A and B are shown apart, each in its own frame.
Chain A
Amino acid sequence: SQQGEEDPQALSIQEGENATMNCSYKTSINNLQWYRQNSGRGLVHLILIRSNEREKHSGRLRVTLDTSKKSSSLLITASRAADTASYFCATDPIQGAQKLVFGQGTRLTINP
């Protein structure tokens, strides 16, 4: 399956700053999801945004979706050292039979 693209591949910021990660994809989708992965662990679901939604919030997370540009962004506000992890977007293609397509991921490092 084709992988989505994420940028940046790596991001290092100071604690308290905001972190923004971007995701682009290729096909029409039912929804787009963001996941977090700590080193050597499984993925944890963060947030899901449906194709008819443009923005969604969950705590310090804000996700936007632009289906015309086939892109999404994840904003983490007031970052904390514990936010250090890899973040992946995943799309649910309309004809994907429940198979999620994952982006390349962004490795986020929050410096105390």
Chain B
Amino acid sequence: GAVVSQHPSRVICKSGTSVKIECRSLDFQATTMFWYRQFPKQSLMLMATSNEGSKATYEQGVEKDKFLINHASLTLSTLTVTSAHPEDSSFYICSVTGDPTEAFFGQGTRLTVV
């Protein structure tokens, strides 16, 4: 299966700053990547679909200006949390989809906004 690397694994930032999370597909060319958010002891909530070379598709209720997604190549998608606030603290996970729809996940990023 695909190997997905997510960086950083943990980040602490000050309120009001921006944080960039990288998701790399190491051995698989991914035209589509998915970004999820997970609160403690809860399930994954899909935030957006990252599309290589075009705009991301955001799920209802997700602010596109706050969660900027860039998918500039077939192996890299980035999620930037802009003007972060404590309520943005969460676990963010990316994935790529293989065949048929088996998902391969990154290790996740624990974001803490102080």
Contact = CB atoms under 8 A, between A and B. Distances in A.
B43 A105 contact: yes
B93 A92 contact: no
B110 A45 contact: no
Nearest to A105: B43
Interface stretch (A53-61, A64-72, A73-81, A94-102): A94-102
Nearest to A33: B102
B49 A99 contact: yes
Overall SS of chain A's interface: strand
A24 B112 CA distance: 33
A40 B39 CA distance: 11
Given A1-B59, A92-B101, A98-B32, A42 B107 contact: yes
Interface residues of B, number: 26
A52 to B, nearest CB: 13
A98 B97 contact: yes
Interface in B60-114: 91, 93, 95, 97, 100-108, 110
A88 interface: yes
A63 B74 CA distance: 34
B97 A1 contact: no
A44 to B, nearest CB: 7
A43 B101 contact: no
Contacts of B49: 97, 99
A95 to B, nearest CB: 13
Interface string A1-42: 101000000000000000000000000001101010000111
